[in-house]
Amino acid sequence: MAVTADVALGDLGGWIVGVFQRIGDVSIYWLVLALALKTCESMFIGLGWRNILRAAYPESRLSFKIAWGASQGGTAINALTPAQAGTAAMIGLFRSSIRGSSVAGVTSATVVQALFFTAVSVLMVIGVAIFRPRTVSKGSPSDEAGGFFASHPVLVPIVVVALLVVLFFLWPRLKPRLLDQWHKAKQGAAIFRDWGRYAREVALPSAASYCCRIGVNTVFMAAFGIPITAFTVFLIASSHMLSGIFAITPGGVGQTQALDVVTLRGHAPTSAVAAFSVTQDSILTIWNVLLGLAVMLWAFGPDRSSSCSRDTARTSRRNSPSPANPASRHRSRRGSGSRRRPARPRRRASSRKRACRRSPRRCSERRRTTRGRTRTSST
């Protein structure tokens, strides 16, 4: 066991040294340009998130700093962990940062944010299926899923029928909760009420971020001498898109390299494609983590709580008059707007007072009778 661990650690160390050697082979100009485009891509995604959540929760006035910090933080976590754990962390950050938000609302906002990229991915899958059908078959787990269903012809229908029966009996209890969650989810997709606003504030930043992503691929292709044509750029973008959709390893490591080699076969040497793919994936992973940490510290750092407390104290001092200045108290009572004190609710009159208002004569006679009785009892 000790020998196996030493061999594994040695292989890992050699792989890390090789990766950094490839990174060192990239010119500093190409590297700076690629990282600048990657940062712009992240910023445009954060801008889209801010616009989506502002439309869903207008009272929160979500800032760009918080939106960018949460989205890039989720990207950094996804670069290190599998199964989209960073997306769940991003939803939690938005939920804790936006007052009045819900998990269902923020989750539906993720669907809104991914709509543009989903449409582009569908078009690219169709194009790749036409020009490179083997790439789609290698990138998707359809063969494994088909094999599982074929090897369990009885178990799968039994599980489906059992789920339907359980859903039938639990539906009366689940229906109110599902309706409540549905209303919250509709709030997260409120920007769809105005398609013009969606095109300006979500689709346009998403298109800009996608152009920056294509620019990053083009820069690394130029750095490694891979032919740059519209077709090869399209193939690389589709390969990275497929590896991101069906990512099993953190950041799709391994899948991306295999798909790049298969996709660019016949357009560039295999060694150049492998070096390009490994170097680009390594640099972008490191940059995603570093940028995510920096932006999250900027957005959710320790200075945030102190600045929020200062703003709250300043607002309370501005809205509440000083007791040593009676003129300011007088102005706050007679002023209009948010400084006016709310009127106290009028007490409801008793039944005897209401009867006296209706018939004053009867009330006065009753008072005289009561006074006469009081005098007689006192004598």
- Domain parsing of the chain, residue ranges: 29-302
Residue 44's pLDDT is what? 97
Residues in the chain, pLDDT under 50: 1, 3, 7-9, 139, 141, 144, 305-316, 318-338
- Give the H or E element holding residue 233: helix 230-245
Q: Can you tell me the distance from the alpha carbon of 349 to that of 355, in angstroms, rounded to the nearest whole number?
A: 10
Structure tokens at 90: 């991003």
User: Would you list the DSSP string of 237-275?
Assistant: HHHHHHHHHT--SGGGTTHHHHHHHHHTBTTB-HHHHHH
Structure tokens at 132: 């490179």
Q: Can you tell me the distance from the alpha carbon of 136 to that of 142, in angstroms, rounded to the nearest whole number?
A: 10
Cross-strand pairs, 265: 268
Cβ atoms within 10 A of the Cβ of 321, count?
Answer: 18
Residue 15's pLDDT is what? 54
Q: Three-class SS of residue 106?
A: helix
Cβ atoms within 10 A of the Cβ of 358, count?
Answer: 9
Residue 8's pLDDT is what? 46
- Dihedral of the CA atoms 314, 318, 320, 323 (nearest 10)? 100
